[in-house]
């Protein structure tokens, strides 16, 4: 997916249960990923000037702090852009990204929300309020900070455009190790 965006800003590491995710359980986890993620991102950064990888080598105070660190990097790159908030367990198609930006630019709204295929196992997709809801992922960004990571809200943005017909694939509960982790982390 790196080629699908002008730039990627990845802020890696464990965030404490503060701010908009204060409802999460506080787990005694390593500060940074231990599965090779850091090494992989460092090698990608060496290959691509489009990738900005930040690792604080300390616990982030909250996911809000983490996403706002990414905003400080974006501010160094540009004053305004389409900003996508994409989680590591999401998959998007390039044609959908372009179509969503086009629709948002014509809409008069400052942010867009999407439904997703919420995979909870091989060929199993959750439906209903939890599995079929909308999440905000696209913003017309002009230097704002995030007021909240969960839900994703930029300061001063209030009108959200529900983009229908474009869904992304979300694998947050697909892999058994992720299900085990989230069963401990989320209350």
**Tens digit of pLDDT for each residue in 56-84?**
889 999 999 999 999 999 999 999 999 99
| Residue 130 predicted with pLDDT over 70 | no
Q: Is 150 exposed, middle or buried (0-12, 13-18, 19+ CB in 10 A)?
A: middle
Distance CA 160, CA 182 (A): 28
70: left (phi over 0), alpha (psi -120 to 50) or beta: alpha
The phi and psi torsions of 96 (rounded to 5 degrees) equal: -70, -40
**d(Cα 72, Cα 9) in Å, to the nearest integer?**
10
Please state the pTM of the whole predicted model.
0.92
Rounded CA separation 114/112 (Å) = 7
Residue 55 has pLDDT above 80, yes or no: yes
Q: How far is 91 from 73, CA to CA, in rounded Å?
A: 23
């Amino acid at each position: 997916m790196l080629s699908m965006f002008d730039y990627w800003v990845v802020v890696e590491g464990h965030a404490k249960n503060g701010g908009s995710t204060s409802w999460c359980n506080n787990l005694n986890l390593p500060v940074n990923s231990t599965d090779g993620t850091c090494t992989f991102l460092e090698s990608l950064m060496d290959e691509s000037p489009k990738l900005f990888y930040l690792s604080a080598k300390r616990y982030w105070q909250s996911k809000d702090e983490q996403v706002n660190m990414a905003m400080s990097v974006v501010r160094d790159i540009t004053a305004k852009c389409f900003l996508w908030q994409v989680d590591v367990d999401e998959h998007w198609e390039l044609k959908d990204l372009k179509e969503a930006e086009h629709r948002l630019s014509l809409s008069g709204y400052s942010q867009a929300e999407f439904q997703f295929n919420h995979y909870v196992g091989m060929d199993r997709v959750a439906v209903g309020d939890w599995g079929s809801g909308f999440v905000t992922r696209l913003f017309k960004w002009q230097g704002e900070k995030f007021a909240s990571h969960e839900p994703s809200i930029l300061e001063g943005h209030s009108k959200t455009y529900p983009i229908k017909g474009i869904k992304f694939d979300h694998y947050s509960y697909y892999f058994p190790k992720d299900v085990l982790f989230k069963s401990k982390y989320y209350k």
